[in-house]
Amino acid sequence: MGSLLLAPVLIPFFAAVVALLWRDHRAQWLLALAGATGLLLSAIAILSTVSRNGIQVVQLGDWPAPFGISFVADLFSAIMTVLGGIIALAVVVFSRAVVDRPRVRFGYYPLLLILMMGISGSFLTGDIFNLYVWFEVMLMSSFVLVALGNERAQLEGALKYVTINLISSAIFLTAIGILYGIAGTLNMAHLSVLLSDAEQPGLVTVVAMLFLIAFGIKAALFPLFFWLPASYPVAPAAITALFAGLLTKVGVYALIRVFTLLFTQDVGYTHNLLLILAGLTMLTGVLGAASQNEFRRILSFHIISQIGYMVMGLALFTPLALAGAIFYIIHHIIVKTNLFLISGAVHRLQGTYQLEQLGGLYRARFGLAVLFLIPAMSLAGLPPLSGFWAKFVLIRASFEVDRPAIAVVALAVSLLTLFSMTKIWAEVFWKSRPDTAPETSDLTVRMWRQLLAPIASLASLTVLIGLLAEPVFALSSDAAQQLLSTGEYVSAVLGGAP
């Protein structure tokens, strides 16, 4: 099992190294395709093993926990790794049609693979300091990917992106230092045991707030989201799709991990604060989206609003609410990535993201119009698509713990999301194309298929999750029970260690 648990990290790493040595454009794409496929297959194997045999652990160098470096796969981390593999594969296929040769020449595919290595490492690490290390791997590769192309808007967005993420990393590292001073360990399972009986619970809560700020920045939680709409829309469409699907979810994953495993001593304070932030994140994000008239900026603000639903499930802190949060993450990663891929396809066809300059695609590209409606209506929460079931579970969980206010906010945000999606539909697909619009880009049949293949695949997954909501919810419920049963995680990692 040891080699399997490390595979989602090692496969993209070795594929990136070989791609750097092999500079042919097609060869690099094939290597990236092989790396993403290997990542997905190994992640599926890990999820299957964890589902059958429980939490899996590898101690690197045979050093026992808490002294060595632990890699841990529970159901939640295994689900996230599978989702990472799906998105990586879709983005690599899409990139073949939209990423230009200069970007490929300057390392686009190796950087993408290194980014996936960092994402997989973040999901599978069992050590809080190594989580910081994987975050830095992500930051370095994502910064270069945002800036790749050397356009003015890209450089401005990249500077904002890297500055705020460096601040987040500094806060994260400070919190780790204080945490080590309190507990004398950085293994998350060991920390779970020691922090439950900490002599200074007030100081533990202060450290929890530092982690909330650090991970809140990475997750784009209110009021720390301002960097996202300024930086995500400036990157190439394929990279924006990858960022939208996965990078903020790594922040959400980290929040869920530490506020279920480590910081549960003062739930009345920490999780009530999370609930307030979740509601404000939903509202500010969706209102920001409603005010925009550029395709990717609308979608960028919707990343923010949808993060609120995930944090809402964590804040309610019941088995049903956590299951809803995990279900929502599964739904959102697929849907949001797909919407950004569709925006990239629209740009490839008509040369702009400005809504007033777009139009006529319902008649010109009927298939793309239908493929847009599926993730758009799912994002808004229309039945029987995946978003409906995810929101239904979260709203039901809020009423079960007598929190109707957050349910009202969630429903109102869904209606405003529907407004934004119908606005895009009307402007991009339904209305006639303006006479002043840029010339339509000519695409070969092969390139059009490369654009549509990942979009159609992700749309099919969205429909499939909606139709198979019961088994997906059962898997999410099992993952939530593992998160709340911290003893199972601790026992798997520490074994008989004191």
Mean pLDDT in residue range 441-447: 69
The predicted pLDDT at position 150 comes to 64
The pLDDT of residue 445 is above 80? no
The predicted pLDDT at position 255 comes to 96
Residue whose C-alpha is closest to residue 337's, from 87, 126, 169: 87
The pLDDT of residue 1 is above 60? no
pLDDT single digits (tens) 338-365: 999 999 999 888 888 888 888 888 888 8
pLDDT single digits (tens) 466-486: 999 999 999 999 999 999 988
pLDDT single digits (tens) 181-229: 988 899 999 999 998 877 777 888 999 999 999 999 999 999 888 888 8
Q: Bridge-partner residues for 125, per DSSP?
A: 71
What band does 389 get if pLDDT is binned at 50, 70 and 90?
Answer: very high
Q: Look over the chain and give the mean of its residue pLDDT values, rounded to a whole number.
A: 90
The predicted pLDDT at position 279 comes to 96
The predicted pLDDT at position 236 comes to 82
What band does 234 get if pLDDT is binned at 50, 70 and 90?
Answer: confident
Q: Using CA atoms, how far apart are residues 492 and 498, in angstroms rounded to an integer? A: 13
The pLDDT of residue 61 is above 80? no
pLDDT single digits (tens) 2-56: 678 999 999 999 999 999 888 778 889 999 999 999 999 999 999 999 999 999 9
The predicted pLDDT at position 67 comes to 82
pLDDT single digits (tens) 285-327: 999 998 888 999 999 999 999 999 999 999 999 999 999 999 9
The verdict on pTM exceeding 0.75 is yes
pLDDT single digits (tens) 93-141: 999 888 878 888 888 999 999 999 999 999 999 999 999 999 999 988 9
Q: Would you state the torsion angle of the CA atoms of residues 232, 281, 289, 247, taken in this order, to the nearest 10 degrees?
A: 20
The predicted pLDDT at position 438 comes to 57
Q: Is 102 exposed, middle or buried (0-12, 13-18, 19+ CB in 10 A)?
A: exposed
The pLDDT of residue 498 is above 50? no
